[in-house]
Structure formats: structure tokens, C-alpha cells
Structure 1
Amino acid sequence: MSKSRSDQIECKNCAHPFARRSPTGRRPEYCSAQCRSAAFRLRNAETEEADFSQDAERIGRAVATRARMVAQSSSRSLPFWPLEPLRHSVALKRELDDFIAVSVREALDRGAQWEDIAEVTSLTVSQLQSRYSTDQVSRTVNARRGRRPRRPVAPAAEVALGSAADDEPNGRNPQEWGPRDALARALSHLHRFSGLPVRTVAVRAGLSPSYVYRLTTGERRPSWTSVRNFVLACDGDPNDLVDLWNAAEGQEQQPLPDSGFEVALARFQGALRGLHLAEARPDPDVLADALPNVHWHETAVIKAILGAPAAHHAGELSWAATQALTVALRGDSDRIHRHWTALQEAAPRPSLLTQAFG
């Protein structure tokens, strides 16, 4: 028997009449789930329009970066900090939660239904609508923006060769991972060797504690000013980090200026000491003695370079020995060769009188 017109209900979305499927329960307002979802989206659009497409792309990159940090920290036999893998995992979970939130809104904007999303997420429609309303997701996105560190004013670098760019998020290409990872490792080991709490380093360097941590994990692309202040806060020598910072900034082809023997010595020794720091400062005696085909005199010079504030006999180191040391420390031979050549050219030559009388 057909339904009478009195049994028909007008859909509040499409205005078409439809029959009630069950005689009990709450009176339906929409003829289908599609109409119910369309009406819900329309109500949200009337109160607040939001486009989360750019946020989804940005947060997606943050998820990828954090996932690399998790993989990297978990693969090390001795993490920089004991809690480093856990910290990265918790942060990754937060990034994923934010990404799911904006992805839900993106899916709805592209025509997906709440029921479809519920099937993917194993949540009920009511739970989804409560957690991922336009207003809720907007608050999540705004909260992320509030977590960003301030961009400090960056004066020109006095020691580093590259321009001192402002600190910014480290959106790294695969080719840039090595140099920037080496800088982050050096900063992390320097902090660990200092024995200072993070807050102490942060106060000394004029940085936030969270920013100090991000420097040591490579999450930020730091200016030279931030690196220099961090190193000084850890009672280190900024000269040891100059070449690592320049490499991280992509300053490979810039010729070294002629600044005299002392400066060339500081650059050469600092470059090698920076590589040594990035490898957690292996024992100089053990490292030097293990290098192949290195003369005993050069072994002593290497130990002095890595273990002393200044090694004025560094110019006596042959390129073969220098290259062996660079390879052992996983450094860039081309970069170190430039420093070695500059040192050789700047080294003082003995006078004829000195040669005659020894």
C-alpha cells in the first residue's frame, strides 16, 4: 500500500518529499546522508569560510621532516639526548593529529561524506563532526602559528663567509641533508659535552629552550648569529663551526679571501675541528694512529690540531694526511682542500738567514 501525502516529509536541503523509513525514533529532516552533509557544510560556510589547502601542504611537509627525525634518531646507537627518539615521536604524533584535522576538512570540501570519513578513521560521524568542525580545525591551525618561534634580527656575520640569513624552518632538499645534518650533530654534541641544562644554554644564548633543542636536531635553518651565540653559551669556539655553517648554507664555490696566516690557520683548523665535533670528538690519539699511510710526525700534528686551541705547525700537514683525516671524519675533501691550499699559500717562508743557520 502506498504512503499517503501526510506521511511524506520535505527534505530541508533539497525540498523533495520522502517517506519516513521507520515509524519510531527521531523524525528525520533530510532524505539522505548526502543531503544532511550538504546542509551541514552549508551552515558552516555561512558562519565561517576556511580554506585549509595551504595548511595541509605545510603541515604535510612538517610531518615528513619529523618522520625523518624519528628515523634518524632511532638509528643511532647513542642518541644525542636519551629522550631524543621519544621527543621526536611525540612531536610526530602531534603533527599527524594536526594533519588529520585539516585533511578531514579538505576531504569534505572535495565532496567526501562524513560516513566515508568515519569508515576510514574508525570514528562515528558525531565524533568527527565534534572534533573536526570548521571552528575546531581553525583553532588548531591558529594554535600551530602561535607555536612558531620569533624570527630574530640577524646582523651580518663577521666570521662566516655566507650572508647571515634570518633563522627559518629547515625545509631541506635531499642534497642539503648531509651538510645541515653535520651542523646539527656538531651543535648537539657541543651541548652534550658542555654538561649545561638546556635552559642555561638558552638564557646565555638569548634563545628559547625549544629553539635550542631545534637547533640540535636540524629542525631550524639557523643564522650565523644564532649558531655563534649557541657555541659561546656552551663555552665553545665559534671558529670550529664556521665551515660547517657555510657548508649548510651551500657556500661551496665562494673563494676564500686572503686574510693572512693566522686567519687561514684558524679556518683550516676550525674546519677540521668542526668535523671532529660532528663525529662526537673521537679520541684524537686513537683516530690519528688509525689513519693509513700517515707519517708519525704528521700524526702528532693531527693530534695537536684536534686537541689544542691553536696548532701553528698545521701548515706542515701534507694533503695526503689531511685528506685521510677528512675521509675518516666523513667530511667534504674539496672544502678542506680549499682551506689547506689557502694555509699553504699564507704560511710564512723561512728566510735565507734562517735556512743558513738552521
Structure 2
Amino acid sequence: MLAQVSSLPVPALPLEAIRHYVALQRDLDDFIAVAVRSALDRGADWADISAVTAVSVSSLKSRYAKTQVARIVKNRAQRRPTFAAPATDASAVPDCESPELPSTAKPTPRDRSHAALSRALSHLHRHSGRTVRQVALWAGISPSYVYRIMSGERFPTWSTVQRFARACDADPGNLLDLWCAANGIAPDPDQPFARALARFVGALRGMYLAQGRPPLTLLAGRLGAVAPGELRVIAALLTSRSLAGAENLSWAATAALTKVMNGDVTRARVLWQAVHQRASRPPHGTA
């Protein structure tokens, strides 16, 4: 982030590089504090640590006492970027950049969904071959805001997610269920077959993006007793734009894949059932 910001002449953001530097320095300070306590626990003494850090033993003892490091860890947990609790109705979410998000003590399922969306956006950017400034310009947002939604510090609107995805040459539909889950919007179990199928496959692809698109061989090795035919369907669904075969995936294979990709099994079940309920219903009316 520092390299990216420092190379961009953005007059509107003159302090951005300093903000990133301060955040980085704070993280390093936290890391050193925990590393010192870890070294002591593993048998090092203060003199050894003093020799490595070029800090006097008395200063080390004062700075990295057990109670002091415990306080550092506690403060770090409190200041970490946490996740929004948006409205449950999509129409109630304003189409604007969100304010700073409040801190929460314990991650909720919605928090985890927000983190998954942030990881997916970050992965899309890294593999787009474009700079943050390019993505920001094409998405119509600021470079600073791009950083914040990729880190999970801010929660983007759906229109922002769509523009971000298109700026990375990606399909926004693969992010829709991640965004809905982070908003607390439940999947719709009653949709036309084509839409239900697209939502189901998009959710699987969104989970795959959130995990950084791991090698398919790694996924296959963790899926256990999934039939070879279904493994081929899964591989095709995750790596192409085709929806072929998605309606033939069993719930056992879908559940296994969802768990391996740290997805929400309950949401996946609703999306899977929507596909199969529609596929099994007789057509209505005349041609």
C-alpha cells in the first residue's frame, strides 16, 4: 500500500502514505512486543534480547513486561477494523460510502461474511493486473476507499461492488451472495429456475474467490468421498462461466464443498434447494 500510494500523485490524499506508515509501524510495534514475550517463554533471557534489539535490558523490561504486553494485545483487539451490521433490507442500505465502522467484541456470522467479501474483492484486485488507482477511477471511487473496502474497514454498497468487479473484469454476480450475507439478507428460496441456478453457482464462486481461488487439486483432496463426476462439475463451475451440470450436484457434494471453502452451509442449502425445487416442478400454463 505504501509503494502504491507513494507512486500516485493524488493531491486530494496528501496524508494517505503517512496513514499507512503509521498503521504499519503500529503493527510492527505490536509484533515485536509479542515476539519478545514469546522469546522469553522459550528460554531466551533479557540479555539475549538486548543484544538483538540494541535496547538496554532495563528499557526492555519496562517496555515488554508481561502486564504491558497483555495491555498491548488487548488494545490491538479493540482497534482492529471490524465489520458493519447493515440493514436487513437491501433497499434500506444507502448508496453511498459508509462511515467508519463500530468495533464489536466477537465476530458474528455477518462479520465473517463481510470479511469474506473483503477477501474476495482483494483477490480480484490482485489478479486483475491493475493498480489501485486504475480500479478506483473505473469504479468511480477514491483510491483510499478501495483500500478500505479491501481491508474490511468500510462496507461498500452493492453498486460499488458491481463497479469494482467490472473494473477488475470480473462478474459481479459472483459477489452478490457474499454482499447479501454481509447485509443479513437471506437467500430467496422462490425464484425462477434460471435465476436460482445463477445465484447458486455465483455463491459457490464467491466462496472460491474469498478463499483466494485455491488449487482445485487441493479442494478435491479435502472433499472426501465426492464422486469423480461431481468433482469434474465442481471444477468446471469454479473455473469457467458455464452453469452446466450445477443442477445435478448432490446436496452432499455441495455441503462438503461449502465446508471446505468456509462458507455458510445454511445459506448454501437454501440456494441448492431453490434450484432443485424449481427443476422438479412441472411447467405452468401453455407454451
**TM-score between the two structures when normalised by the length of structure 1:** 0.52
Q: Unmatched 5+ residue regions in structure 2? A: 1-17, 27-87
Aligned letter for 1:283? P
Distance across 2 between alignment mates of 1:243 and 1:343? 15
Q: In structure 2, do the counterparts of structure 1 residues 196 and 297 end up closer, same or farther at CA, with 3 Å as the change threshold?
A: same
2:150 is the counterpart of 1:216: yes
Whether 1:170 aligns to 2:104 is no
What one-letter code is carried by the residue in structure 2 that aligns with 1:171?
P
CA deviation after TM superposition for structure 1 residue 93, in Å: 6.6
Q: 1:239 aligns with which of 170, 173, 189?
A: 173
Which segments of structure 1 move beyond 3 Å, counting only runs of 4 or more?
A: 86-89, 91-94, 348-351
CA contact (8 A) 1:301 1:311 kept: no
CA distance in 2 between partners of 1:172 and 1:339 (Å)? 31
Corresponding residue SS for 2:90:
coil
Q: CA deviation at 1:184?
A: 0.5
1:188 aligns with 2:122: yes
Alpha carbons of 1:322 and 1:228: their partners in 2 closer, same or farther (altered >3 Å)?
A: same
Are the counterparts in 1 of residues 222 and 260 from structure 2 also a CA contact under 8 Å?
Answer: no
Residues 242 and 183 of structure 1: CA distance in aligned 2, closer, same or farther (over 3 Å): same
Residues 285 and 250 (structure 1 numbering): CA distance in 2 closer, same or farther, change over 3 Å? same
Shift of the 312–260 alpha-carbon distance from structure 1 to 2, 3 Å rule, reads farther
CA distance in 1, matches of 2:224, 2:89: 33
1:271 is matched with which residue?
203
Cα distance in 1 for partners of 2:222, 2:25 equals 43
Amino acid at match of 1:221: F
Match of 1:313 in 2: 245
Counterpart-to-counterpart distance in 1, 2:227 and 2:177? 27
Residue 335, structure 1, aligned to residue 267, structure 2: yes
Partner residue of 1:345? 277
C-alpha displacement of 1:260: 1.6
**1:177 deviation in Å?**
2.6
**Structure 1 contact 205–226 (Cα < 8 Å) conserved:** yes
- Residues of 1 paired with 2:281 and 2:245: CA distance? 13
After TM superposition, give the deviation of residue 346 of structure 1 in Å: 1.9
Q: Residues 350 and 284 (structure 1 numbering): CA distance in 2 closer, same or farther, change over 3 Å? A: farther
Q: 2:232 is aligned with what amino acid?
A: A
In structure 1, give the amino acid aligned to 2:90.
G
Instruction: Mark the CA change 1:92 to 1:307 in structure 2 (over 3 Å): closer, same or farther.
Output: closer
Higher relative contact order structure (alpha carbons within 8 Å, sequence separation ≥ 6): 2
> What CA distance in whole angstroms lies between the structure 2 residues aligned with 1:177 and 1:305?
27
Match of 1:295 in 2: 227
Deviations 1:302-340 (A, max 9, x none): 111101102221011111110100000000100111100
Q: Which residue of 2 aligns with 1:5?
A: none
* Partner in structure 2 of residue 283 of structure 1: 215
Contact 1:186–1:279 (CA<8 Å) still a contact in 2? yes
Does the 8 A contact of 2:207 with 2:262 survive in 1? yes
% identical aligned pairs: 49
Query: Aligned equivalents of 2:200 and 2:175: distance in 1?
Result: 11
- Distance (Å, rounded) in 2 between the aligned partners of 1:207 and 1:222: 10
Aligned equivalents of 2:19, 2:256: Cα separation in 1: 36
Amino acid at match of 1:308: S
Q: 1:341 to 1:89 in 2, by over 3 A?
A: farther
Q: 1:87 to 1:286 in 2, by over 3 A?
A: farther
1:323 is the counterpart of 2:255: yes
Aligned residues: 199
Gaps of 5+ in 1: 1-85, 95-159, 352-358
Distance 2:240 2:247 in 1: 15
**8 Å CA contact 1:264, 1:339 repeated in 2:** yes
Root mean square deviation of aligned Cα: 2.5
CA contact (8 A) 1:161 1:246 kept: no
Alignment of 1:1-358 (within 5 A): 90-91=22-23, 162-163=90-91, 164-165=93-94, 166-168=96-98, 169-173=100-104, 174-175=107-108, 176-252=110-186, 256=188, 258-347=190-279
Name the aligned partner's letter for residue 327 of structure 1.
K
